Structure 1
Amino acid sequence: MHHNRTILPVIIGILIGALLCTGCLASEEPVVPQVANSETASPELAWITTSMTNVATGERFTIKDLVELGKPVIIHSFAIWCPGCSMQLLESTKLQTAYPDSYTVIALDVDPNDNLDKVKRHQESNKFKGIFAATPTDATRSLINAYGPGFIQSIPQTIIICGKTATYLEDGVFSADTLKRAADELCS
């Protein structure tokens, strides 16, 4: 009986570790990610025009306003509990460190259980760069309508906006170099 009590926590620990690692393991990424969908980033799309709060500054913004600044906008969906998402946000931080004025990165927390304070603590504790927001319900619904339920079920997801074109890349974690190549190719 004592043997069963010690082995059960070990088995549970191994299973939890394996589950967490599945989000961290990625196959070799392509030179430039596959484009899953491309559309006109029209103002009618709620996710483009919904007012959101930058958790670091408290300032309100819309993705449309940031796109109009003229730089490529890289958007990632994430949740604070997602290890793959944190890996992606780390890669985007590397991109912004290497090219501080070249790209605007927006991280949209799509977990309805997260709030501005949780997202802000996550950004600060991990020293992630970029604009972070807890995505309002209307914007999340609009993203699901545009890109399907996988946009919030299989995170991280990435969208790159250049001018009036929003390009939805395949899901997964992309290195800083891959993001740069994809944005440069899509925005040239």
Structure 2
Amino acid sequence: MGYKKILATAIVIAFLFAGGCTEQESTDNGTIEWRDTELTDVTTGETFRISDFEGKNILVESFAVWCPTCLEQQKEMQVLREMEGTEAIHISLNTDPNEDAEKVREHVERNSFDWYFAVAPNEFTQALIDEFGINVVNAPGAPVVLICEDQSARLLSGNVKSAEVLEKEIREGC
């Protein structure tokens, strides 16, 4: 594992354990229900929850603005969105504790992306780690979670996934 991956992982973990919990719905073991956590789109200011899209396929990408691999994955997401007949909600979540909504908004505008972008709250990021493991926030690994119509979910393997691979994963389901 390269030093950037180790450093990014260590920063995320340190930030998560340093931050306190905000008032959010939690399970019996204290883990928040990340699908029901309110997120704010950095370009529109509108709030949404992943659970708002129940009944639809959703691709949730964990990323950081500094990550060139993430940008490659986002460009594949853009290709997928332009493919005829492909229907999925796209959500890109910045999980780098050193980046804020303004930095993410600049990234979205600079690259002309047009789907949901939000900064993940600490508790949300920790809940993702709890469910999928630390690789779900390893930005250089281009992590993408597929959430199926019934809200079941799985972490897609591999690094940058082409639009064709993403479409195939959506068809295969959870």
Bin of the TM-score, shorter chain as denominator length: 0.7 to 0.9
Return structure 1 stretches of 4+ with deviation > 3 angstroms: none
The answer to whether the 8 A contact 1:73-1:106 is kept is yes
- 1:135 and 1:77 mapped to 2: Cα distance? 9
Q: Deviations over 1:19-63 (max 9, x none)?
A: 99xxxxxxxxxxxxxxxxxxxxxx955321111101111000111
Q: Which has the larger radius of gyration?
A: 1
Consecutive unaligned residues in structure 1, runs of 5 or more = 1-18, 21-42
Mapped pair 1:148 → 2:148: no
1:157 maps to which residue? 143
Consecutive unaligned residues in structure 2, runs of 5 or more = 5-25
Secondary structure in structure 1 of the residue aligned to 2:128: helix
Give the TM-score of the pair, scaled to structure 1: 0.71
Match of residue 50, structure 1, among 20, 25, 37: 37
Mapped pair 1:94 → 2:82: no
2:110 maps to which residue? 125
Give the TM-score of the pair, scaled to structure 2: 0.76
Q: What amino acid sits opposite 1:147 in the alignment?
A: F
Q: Deviations over 1:129-160 (max 9, x none)?
A: 32100111110010111112222235320111
- The CA RMSD measured in Å over matched residues stands at 2.1
Q: Deviations over 1:89-117 (max 9, x none)?
A: 00001111224871101001000111111
Secondary structure in structure 2 of the residue aligned to 1:173: coil
The answer to whether the 8 A contact 2:94-2:120 is kept is yes
Q: Closer, same or farther in 2 for the Cα pair 1:183/1:101, shift >3 Å?
A: closer
- 2:166 and 2:86 mapped to 1: Cα distance? 15
Mapped pair 1:107 → 2:89: no
1:184 maps to which residue? 171
The answer to whether the 8 A contact 1:91-1:175 is kept is yes
The answer to whether the 8 A contact 2:73-2:162 is kept is yes
The answer to whether the 8 A contact 1:49-1:62 is kept is yes
